[in-house]
Copies of this chain bind each other. A is one copy, B any other.
Amino acid sequence: MPTIDFWYEFASTYSYPTAMRIENMAADGGIDVRWRPFLLGPIFKAFGWNDSPFNIFAAKGRYMWRDLERLCEADGLPLKLPPVRFPQNGLKAARLALVGEAEGWIQAFTRAVFTANYAEQKDISEDPVLRAILVEIGLDADRAMETAGRPAVKEALRAQTDEAAVRGIFGAPSFTVEGELFWGNDRLEAALAWAKTG
Report which A residues bind B (CB closer than 8 A): 43, 47, 57, 59-60, 62-63, 66-67, 70, 168-171, 181-184, 186-187, 190
B190 & A70 in contact (Cβ 8 Å cutoff): yes
Known A-B contacts A66-B181, A181-B66; the reply to A59 vs B170 at CB < 8 A is yes
Number of copies: 2
B63 & A57 in contact (Cβ 8 Å cutoff): no
A170 & B57 in contact (Cβ 8 Å cutoff): yes
What residues on B are CB-neighbors of A47 within 8 Å?
A: 57
B70 & A170 in contact (Cβ 8 Å cutoff): no
What residues on B are CB-neighbors of A170 within 8 Å?
A: 57, 59-60, 63
Q: Which of B43, B66, B168 contacts A63 (CB 8 A)?
A: B168
**Min CB gap A29→B, angstroms:** 17
In the bound complex, what is the Cα–Cα distance between A182 and B70 (angstroms)? Answer: 10
B183 & A186 in contact (Cβ 8 Å cutoff): no
**Min CB gap A198→B, angstroms:** 11
8 cross-chain pairs, A with B, having the tightest CB-CB distances, nearest first = A59-B170, A186-B186, A59-B168, A47-B57, A60-B170, A63-B183, A62-B168, A63-B181
What residues on B are CB-neighbors of A171 within 8 Å?
A: 60
In the bound complex, what is the Cα–Cα distance between A3 and B3 (angstroms)? Answer: 42
